[in-house]
Amino acid sequence: MSEAYICAAVRSAGGRKNGRLSKVHPIDLGAKVVDALVERSGIDPEAVDDLIFGCVSQVGAQSSNLGRNVCISSVLGESVPGTVVDRQCGSGQQAIHFAAQAVMSGTQDVVIAGGVESMSQVPIGASIIDGYKMEHGTPYGEEIQKRYPGIQFSQFAGAEMLAEKYELSSDELAEFALSSHVKAKQAVEENRFDNEIVPIEVELEDGSLEMHTQDEGIRMDATLDAIRGLEPLQEGGIITAAMASQICDGASAVLVASGEAVEKHGLTPLAKIVAMSVVGTDPVIMLEGPIKATQVVLEKAGMSMDDIDLFEVNEAFGSVPMSWAKALDADMDKLNVNGGAQALGHPLGGTGAKLMTTLVHELRRSGKRYGLLAICEGGGTANGTVVEVC
C-alpha cells in the first residue's frame, strides 16, 4: 500500500461574521486557496485526480456540489471532478482522510482536500432552518426520536455536559479562552502564520480594495476580567461566548499525493500521514469524541501521547480540548500553541484542513516531528490524524 504525503497546505485568514470576507462568495473563496495551493506545489492541474471539499451548511451559496463548483472556478478547470463531504465540524479533516485513503489504495495519485464555509452568507444551521421553513421536513426521523425521546441535540448543551463531567470550572475555562487569544496574538506578532495564509483581495465599506492577510477574530487586547464578565449562553450554565469558537468565514486546502506521484511530479512532501481514525460516540454529550478518536489513532500508529510533539484539538468550545487534555493527561504546553478557534475562528467545513495546515507548518517551523489533530463533530463523531514531518 502506498503512503500519503501532504505536499502543500494553505488557508485564508479567518474573517469575522459580516467582516472582511463576508462579501466573497464561498465558491470563489475556495477557488482562491486552491489556486494558491496549485501554484505553491507546482503540480500540473491536469495531474489532479479529484478535489474533496468539506462544507457543513450545503444550501444556497454552498449548494449544488460545492466541490465541483470550486474546481470549475479555479485553475483546475473542467477535468477535475470535485465533490463535497459533510462530517459536520470535521468535514475538512474527513476530506483529507478520504484523499489519503484514495492515494494509499492506489486508486488515485493526487487529490486536493480542503473545505470552505461562509458563515456570514450561509449561517450555521441554515440547511435545517431553511428546510423547516419550506416544510421539507427535519433531519430527525421517528427511529431517532424513539431512541432519544425528548432529546434536543445541542452542542451548547454538550459543552456544558463536558464541563460538568470533567469538573471544569468557569475560571479554568476563562483562563483557557484568554490563552487562546494571547497565543494567537503572539503567533501574529512573530509572523508564524505567514507561510500558510493566502492573501485574499476584499472590498472594504468605502469601496476600496485591500488584501486580507490576518485572522480577524483575535482580541489583541483581551483580558481575563472582560472574559469573566460575560453572561453564560444558557441559564444556569458556565459557558460564555468567549469560551466558544468564533463564527468565521474561511477556506483551506491541502495537496495529498502518493509516494509514486511525489517522484513523478517532482513534489516536495511537507508531512506524511501516519494514521487516521474516525469514531462514533454519544450524540447527546456530542463533543467527547476527540478523546476516543485520539486513543484509536494512537493505537493505529503504535504511539503514545508522549510521542506527539504538537496537538491541535478544535476549540469548538473551551471545554472540548480541556476535557480532552484532562482525560488523556495531555501536556498543555503542546496544545494549540498558536491559539485556537476561540481566537482564530471555526469556519465549520473548512476547519479540518485549516488546523492541519497550521499543524504541519508549525511542526516544520519549530523543528518538531509528530503532530496530532482531533476535532469534535455534530452527532457525536470525531476524526483523529497523526502526521510526521518529512
pLDDT at 139 over 80: yes
Mean pLDDT computed over every residue of the chain = 97
Bigger pLDDT: 240 or 206? 240
Cα–Cα distance, 187 to 241 (Å, whole number):
22
pLDDT at 234 over 90: no
pLDDT at 138: 87
Q: Residues with catalytic annotation? A: 89, 346, 376
pLDDT average, residue stretch 37-66:
98
Cα–Cα distance, 235 to 216 (Å, whole number):
29
pLDDT at 103 over 90: yes
pLDDT at 320: 98
Cα–Cα distance, 43 to 287 (Å, whole number):
37
pLDDT at 80 over 80: yes
pLDDT at 207: 86
Confidence of residue 240 (pLDDT cuts 50, 70, 90): very high
Nearest in space to 128 (alpha carbons), one of 148, 152, 151: 152
* Window from 129-138, 343-352, 358-367 with minimum mean pLDDT: 129-138
pLDDT at 127 over 80: yes
pLDDT average, residue stretch 287-307:
98
pLDDT at 278 over 80: yes
Cα–Cα distance, 297 to 384 (Å, whole number):
6
pLDDT at 85: 98
pLDDT at 281: 98
Residue 384: φ, ψ to 5°: -135, 140
pLDDT average, residue stretch 184-207:
95
Cα–Cα distance, 224 to 174 (Å, whole number):
7
pLDDT at 110: 98
The three state secondary structure string of the chain is: CCCEEEEEEEEECCEECCCCCCCCCHHHHHHHHHHHHHHHHCCCHHHCCEEEEECCCCCHHHCCCHHHHHHCCCCCHHHCCCEEECECECHHHHHHHHHHHHHHHCCCCEEEEEEEEECCCCCCCHHHHHHHHCCCCCCCCHHHHHHCCCCCCCHHHHHHHHHHHCCCCHHHHHHHHHHHHHHHHHHHHCCCCCCCEECEEEECCCCCEEEECCCCCCCCCCCHHHHHCCCECCCCCCCEHHHECCCEEEEEEEEEEEHHHHHHHCCCCCEEEEEEEEEECCCCCCCCHHHHHHHHHHHHHCCCHHHCCEEEECCCECHHHHHHHHHHCCCHHHECCCCCHHHHCCCHHHHHHHHHHHHHHHHHHHCCCEEEEEEECCCCEEEEEEEEEC
Grid coordinates given for 159: 459543552
Q: Which amino acid is at 273?
A: I
pLDDT at 368: 98
Look up the pTM and report it: 0.98
Contact at 8 Å (CB) between 6 and 236? Answer: no
Cα–Cα distance, 218 to 114 (Å, whole number):
23
Cα–Cα distance, 73 to 24 (Å, whole number):
13
Confidence of residue 170 (pLDDT cuts 50, 70, 90): very high
Nearest in space to 262 (alpha carbons), one of 42, 98, 33: 42
pLDDT at 152: 87
Q: Which amino acid is at 189?
A: E
pLDDT at 1 over 80: no
